[in-house]
Amino acid sequence: MQALFNDLVGIVGETGVLREASDMAPYVADVRGFYQGNAQYVVRPRSTDEVAAVVALCVERSVPVQAQGGNTSLCGGSVPFADARGVILSLSRMRRIREIDAANHSMTVEAGCVLAEVQRAAIEADRFYPVSLGAEGSCQIGGNIATNAGGTGVLRYGNTRENILGLEVVLPNASVWNGLRGLRKDNTGFDLKHLFIGSEGLLGIITAATLRLHPLNTRHIAAWLAPVSIEAAVELLGLFQSSLGPQLTAFEVLNSAQLQKVLKHMPDRRSPLDPAHPWHILTELGCTTDEAGLQANLEALLQKAMSSGLLTDAAVASNETQRAAMWNIRHSVTDAIKAAGRGIAHDIAVPVSKIPEFVRRVTPVLEQRFAAIQIVIVGHLGDGNLHFIPLFDFDVWETFPDPQAVIDEVHRLTYGIAMELGGTFSAEHGIGRYLVAEMRQYKSGVELSLMRSIKDALDPRGLFNPQKMIPE
Ligand SMILES: Cc1cc2nc3c(=O)[nH]c(=O)nc-3n(C[C@H](O)[C@H](O)[C@H](O)COP(=O)(O)OP(=O)(O)OC[C@H]3O[C@@H](n4cnc5c(N)ncnc54)[C@H](O)[C@@H]3O)c2cc1C
């Protein structure tokens, strides 16, 4: 063990290796406090060459390598198991913005750059990097790519995958693949970057990326809407999409239970509308020119929605402070749920048209099975993606003799209906260790065996992020 420590220090320097339990604590537990892992060391290289040298050393000594970015994974993907066999390879010291090519609408950044820093750097260059999520103040670009993160901008700009032009990756054999190309067109064989996007640290360590930038929207309007039902919310989405086209940049949904949890546990948040309305939508419009028409378009649309009975009420943010306050509510949901009780998270997606059916079918099934269950829903309606979180008060949770059996049953009932509707059991958070059993249950044998073949080809000794994502 001491030999490994000395050799790691030889590569990354003394400050680059953590071994005290108190120093390693933030790296070995997940953000929600569901998983407690352990590791021999946390290693923090400063360059691609150092990452490659650490990988070479670990592979030579058969030491598992757990890649870690901002450690905001919601599926236990970023923390190792408790056996302390491996090392955590943290990208947090690789934070350089290598290049911004404004004319090419691209920027090349190191994997440890925090998402919010990247967004700011793009804005300073009069460009826009559109991936945005509640954890953007701490999640890293490498982690976003490894999980193909979604977030609130997918409706207009796509997932992380659609915003990546090139990658640099250290492979499990310690070679470095430099695929940092800023091209929109390159039909020269397999497009290998897609192999690593969404691979959750199983196939290689992403050390840098060339990101696709967009024109910067200079005008934004946010509005908070209360549709009469979930069916009306979906109809409203269609109306907004056909009337506003690319001006529509977000269409987020919360049910009343979710909003009330935010208001209760974050007392400085104020609901723009009566929180008792069953459903709430946060929508945003954006455009690159200061079109006076944007506000008028929105108001005309809201009028139309009111008179056709889709909307009960609406509030349009009249300044930046109000707009930020609306987004603060949306971005507080994870903390509110953590404070409110034991939530059983599901990150499902179904075709947008099936969202009402999903909600109408699954809610009574769960309510009949568990008397004290509360159905908390928040999600990216425009993407057909709901974070469906049945929740129990902590005192109720403690009365369950076998909590894991409750989790398993809620999962089975919820995922079963999502899958019947042509959906998925993980829309944007990935698999990690949380959903390995569901991979076995719902993925076809052909898909799983393809995944295993790719994993075995790149990482034959199974040292990169072992026991995650692909069932053994
Ligand atoms: C409040 C909150 C809100 C969130 N909202 C959203 C949301 O709206 N949409 C969404 O998609 N997710 C969301 N998430 C989940 C999470 O933020 C994303 O999955 C994010 O992309 C993870 O980035 P990270 O840097 O924290 O990665 P980590 O959590 O550190 O790692 C995630 C996975 O990626 C791997 N990995 C990390 N870095 C690298 C690398 N450089 N090379 C190879 N593998 C790597 C890890 O091994 C792990 O498997 C949210 C999380 C929180 C806490």
Non-local (6+) Cβ contacts of 13 within 8 A are 46
Last residue within a domain, chosen from 301, 333, 365: 333
pLDDT digits (tens, 9 = 90+) for 188-220: 999 999 999 999 999 999 999 999 999 999 889
pTM passes above 0.75 = yes
Q: Which domain holds residue 249?
A: 219-333
**Are 349 and 386 contained in the same domain?**
yes
Q: What CATH number is given to the structural domain containing 227?
A: 3.30.70.2190
Assess whether 388 and 412 both reside in one domain. Answer: yes
How many angstroms does the Cα of residue 207 sit away from the middle of ligand 1? 15
Residue 157 sits in the same domain as residue 184: yes
**In this predicted model, what pLDDT tens digit does every residue of 72-128 receive, in sequence order?**
999 999 999 999 899 999 999 999 999 999 999 999 999 999 999 999 999 999 999
pLDDT in tens, 330-387: 999 999 999 999 999 999 999 999 999 999 999 999 999 999 999 999 999 999 999 9
Give the total number of structural domains in the chain. Answer: 5
pLDDT at 292 over 70: no
Is 173 found in the same domain as 226? no
CATH code of residue 30: 3.30.43.10
102 and 210 in a single domain? The answer is: yes
In a domain, 428, yes or no: no
Pocket of ligand 1 (CB under 6 A): 31, 67-74, 77-78, 91, 111, 133-135, 139-140, 142-144, 146-147, 149-151, 200-201, 205-206, 334, 428-429, 432, 465
- Last-in-domain residue among 333, 361, 381: 333
On whether both 80 and 103 belong to a single domain, the answer is no
- Identify the pLDDT of residue 86: 97
Torsion of CA 80, 82, 85, 88, to 10 degrees: 30
Which mutation among 34, 42, 74, 436 tests ligand 1's pocket best, with the greatest number of atoms within 8 A of CB? 74
**Does residue 312 lie within any of the structural domains?**
yes
